[in-house]
Amino acid sequence: NAMFSWQRTAFHFQPENNWMNDPNGPLYHKGWYHIFYQYNGESAVWGNISWGHAVSTDMIHWLHLPIAMVPDRWFDVNGVWTGSATFLPDGNIVMLYTGATNENVQVQNLAYPANLSDPLLLDWVKYDGNPVLVPPPGIGSKDFRDPTTAWIGPDGKWRIAIGSRVNTTGISLVYTTTNFITYDLKDQILHAVPGTGMWECVDLYPVSKNGSKGLDTSVNGPEIKHVLKASLDDTKLDHYAIGTYYPENDTWVPDNPAEDVGTGLQVDYGRYYASKTFYDPHKERRVVWGWINETDTENDDLRKGWASVQTIPRTVVLDSKTGTNVLQWPIEEIETLRLNSTEFEGVVVEPGSVVPLDIGTATQLDIFADFEIESLGSESINEKSVGCGGGSVDRSALGPFGLLVIADETLSEQTPIYFRSSNSDTFFCADETRSSKAPDVSKVVYGSKVPVLSDEKFSMRVLVDHSIIESFAQGGRTVITSRVYPTKAIYGAARIFLFNNATGLKIKASLKIWELNSAFIRPFPMDQAQ
């Protein structure tokens, strides 16, 4: 469909057509990265949910494979919903996923590859004794979904966590198992946070305190913290907190009770949901995938014939400098797409001005930008915390300043990605309000606080891909994904600018900007499918 073809991304993963949502069961096997995803093969809206499947050797270039699982059994006939992969010590892979049954009850099902020696893992077998878990007493039949990757406790038993709720309290249950067929519900729950509602897509994973390498899911010890993440059904936001996991009783306790799961940090402050991590043994890293939903109308999605993309996979580690947040960063393989680059040194941006950055085509970019500030007056500025609320046109002495991306020459369309400081804190923001001339798309000002340490410049990395902007502040402490729908700032008309809307300071910016190639995301050769 040519009408909206410029909104199609060039290096973000998506199926060739129709609807996609959550990433499912990411894993690495025999040299191939596998991604599965919630997929409706019949339409560009949610429904008839199956597991789409694709493989890659670098998580950038992809080969689409035939659908891995379709809703064809009583225990999943209303949907093969979200799930996770676990590697057993003997090399077997088990996949646990939620099925919506013939009676629309949420149950957990077991599936496994028909042929482990097939690097593409084309065929999946659903265990005949499914379901392996049904909602326990006291849990609603529609509040029991999205099993995690399993981890082993000190008693040698496997554990899985499953999201749920009790009234408006979001909770995660824990089960133990030795065979993935029979399970015991632990008396204590992993964690609960009042007021956060249903927890979807729970994730629990270890991070090392010194911020190095990623860790396999069962690793634990004194030098390790645990991240607990829940996708909040009520707000459609992914929240996490850092804390300690106690294997003795399978509970998790946040480091800072005031910033608990759902009351503190978000994985991403933009358009982002249902994230899932996996351990990549090949590069000893933990990688997080996330779903970028559309913010256009359902009718436009149907007209386009497709909806949603996945983020560029990101490594995730604990930020050893702050100890209070994770760092997310695009996997290094994205760098293989880099073409020509342009550098700008010490570009001065006066208060209230915009400076074009002449780089040619600006639809596929990997941008690194550092900002230093220079006060204009001798009297000290005293400014209270302001946040992102008023957008990039809301001027004050100390900000905002940053980049305008996916902008046309006349700035009739633009998405500012920027810092907004006060004397007490700094916010990192993305302002979509002028991102598109299209009337029906939602246009939000996103953002949150970002720690900027005393020896640090303001720094951002921004991936631009036609209609997706992934923005990383201070090495990935705060991340914002923007889903925008330009109508003018497309193809050769897309530009990039520096801007400074502060009234009390000049900024000096240094940038390195790469143009990025498109990725190959190819259909499965059907003549080989028989």
Residues labelled catalytic:
22
82 binds ligand DQQ (CB under 6 A): yes
Q: How far is the CB of 483 from ligand DQQ (least distance, A)?
A: 16
Distance in angstroms (rounded) separating the CA atoms of residues 427 and 448: 5
Which CB sits closer to ligand DQQ, 220 or 275? 275
Nearer to ligand DQQ, 201 or 318 (CB): 201
- CA gap 235, 147 in Å, rounded: 20
Q: Which is nearer to ligand DQQ, 20 or 227 (CB)?
A: 20
16-25 CB burial, b ≥16 within 10 A, e <16: eebbbbbbbb
> To the nearest whole angstrom, how small is the minimum distance from the Cβ of residue 19 to ligand DQQ?
10
Kindly state the smallest distance separating residue 476's Cβ from ligand DQQ, in Å: 24
The residue count for binding ligand DQQ (CB under 6 A) is 14
As measured in angstroms, the least distance from the Cβ of 279 to ligand DQQ is 21
Cβ distance to ligand DQQ smaller for residue 200 or 268: 200
- Least separation in angstroms between residue 67's CB and ligand DQQ is 14
Question: Phi-psi bin for 146: left (phi > 0), alpha (psi -120 to 50), beta?
Answer: left
Window 191-250: residues binding ligand DQQ (CB under 6 A)? 200-201, 231
Determine, following the binding rule CB under 6 A, whether residue 146 of this chain makes contact with ligand DQQ: yes
Going by C-beta distance under 8 Å and a sequence separation of 6 or more, which residues neighbour residue 179?
A: none
In contact, 459 and 369? CB cutoff 8 Å: yes
Question: Going by C-beta distance under 8 Å and a sequence separation of 6 or more, which residues neighbour residue 223?
Answer: 208, 209, 210
Q: Of 78, 44, 14, give the one whose Cα is nearest residue 305.
A: 44
Q: Which residue, among 57, 25, 445, 15, has the nearest Cα to 276 in the 3D structure?
A: 25
Cβ nearer to ligand DQQ, comparing 291 with 418? 291
Please answer whether residues 149 and 93 qualify as being in contact, where contact means their C-beta atoms are separated by less than 8 angstroms. no
Question: Would you say the C-alpha torsion 232, 235, 237, 241 has a positive or negative sign?
Answer: negative
Using CB under 6 A, which of 28, 39, 81, 124 touches ligand DQQ?
81
Using CB under 6 A, which residues numbered 36 to 75 contact ligand DQQ? Answer: 38, 49
Task: Report the nearest approach of ligand DQQ to the CB of residue 143 (Å).
Answer: 10
Which one of residues 7, 9, 14, 21 is an interface residue with ligand DQQ (CB under 6 A)?
21
Binding mask 271-290 for ligand DQQ (x = CB under 6 A): --xx----------------
Q: Which one of 9, 18, 22, 183 is in contact with ligand DQQ (CB under 6 A)?
A: 22
Residues 6+ apart with CB under 8 A from 8: 306, 466, 467
Distances (CA, A) of 498 to 102, 356, 411, 489: 55, 6, 12, 16
Q: Which of 6/306 has CB closer to ligand DQQ?
A: 306
Contact track, ligand DQQ, 106-145, x by CB under 6 A: ---------------------------------------x
Cα separation of 412 and 434, whole Å?
Answer: 7
Site residues (CB under 6 A) for ligand DQQ?
A: 21-22, 38, 49, 81-82, 98, 145-146, 200-201, 231, 273-274
